[in-house]
Amino acid sequence: MEKIRFPRVGEEMYHEKLENGLNVFVFPKAGFQKGYAFFATNYGGNDTRFCLDGEWHDTPAGVAHYLEHKLFDMPEGPIQTFRIAMEDNKFSLGSFGASLSESTFWVCMIYGNFTNLQNYGIDQNYVQRYHTAKSMKEAKFSALFGGYLFIPVSAIFFLIGTGLYAFYKVNPGMLPEGMGADFVFPFFIVNELPVGLTGLLIASIFAAGMSTVATSVTSSSTIFLTDYYMHFRKNAGNREKLLVLKGASVMVGILGALVAFAFMNAESALDAWWALSSIFSGGMLGLFLLGYLSKKARHIDAAIGVACGLVALIWAVVDPLVHANLAIVFGTILVFLVGFLCSKILNKN
Give the torsion sign (CA, 320, 323, 325, 331): negative
Is residue 54 within 8 Å of residue 142, measured between CB atoms? yes
pLDDT tens across 130-158, in order? 778 888 888 888 878 877 887 888 888 88
CB-neighbour burial class of residue 324 (10 A; exposed 0-12, middle 13-18, buried 19+): buried
Report DSSP letters for 287-307, one per residue. Answer: HHHHHHH-SS--HHHHHHHHH
169-202 pLDDT, tens per residue? 888 888 888 787 778 888 888 888 777 778 888 8
Half-sphere exposure of 211 (CA within 13 A, CB side): 12
Same domain, 237 and 306: no
* pTM of structure: 0.60
**CA-based end-to-end distance of the chain:** 64
Crossing angle for the helix pair 299-318 and 327-345, nearest 10 degrees? 150
Residues 256 and 275 in one domain: no
Q: What is the pLDDT of residue 254?
A: 92
The pLDDT score that the predictor gives to residue 212 is: 78
One domain, residues 233 and 294 = no
More confident residue, 256 or 312: 256
* In a shared domain, residues 227 and 278: no
Give the domain range for residue 238: 212-265
Structural domain contains residue 333: yes
Mark whether 279 and 317 lie in a shared domain: yes
Q: Quick check: 41 pLDDT over 70?
A: no
pLDDT tens-place string over residues 221-278: 988 998 889 888 888 888 999 999 999 999 999 998 888 888 777 777 777 777 777 7
Instruction: Indicate the number of domains in the chain.
Output: 2
SS3 state of residue 136: helix
Residue 348 has pLDDT above 70, yes or no: no
Total length of the chain: 349
281 with 254, same domain?
no
Beta-carbon contacts of 130 under 8 Å, excluding residues fewer than 6 positions away, are 53, 54, 120, 139, 142, 143, 146
pLDDT tens for residues 253-264?
A: 999 888 888 877
What pLDDT sits at residue 244?
92
- Mean pLDDT across 51-68: 66
Residue 25, amino acid = F
Same-domain check for residues 333 and 348:
yes
**The pLDDT value given to residue 36:** 65
Question: Which of 203, 236, 265 is a domain's end point?
Answer: 265
Residue 97: inside a domain = no
For residue 209, give Cα distances in angstroms to 14, 185, 205, 229, 293: 42, 16, 6, 28, 36
Taking 60 as the threshold, does the pLDDT of residue 72 lie above it? no
Q: Report percent pLDDT > 70 for the chain.
A: 87
Clarify whether residues 261 and 291 are in a common domain.
no
Q: Mean pLDDT, to the nearest integer, of 299-313? A: 82
Domain termination site, one of 265, 282, 306: 265
Specify the pLDDT at position 248.
92
**CA–CA dist 317, 279 (Å, integer):** 8
What value does the mean pLDDT of the chain take?
Answer: 80
**According to the model, what pLDDT value does residue 169 have?**
86
pLDDT of residue 271: 72
pLDDT digits (tens, 9 = 90+) for 114-125: 888 888 777 777
For 298, how many CA atoms within 13 A lie in the half-sphere containing its CB?
Answer: 8
Q: How many whole angstroms separate alpha carbon 241 and alpha carbon 248?
A: 10
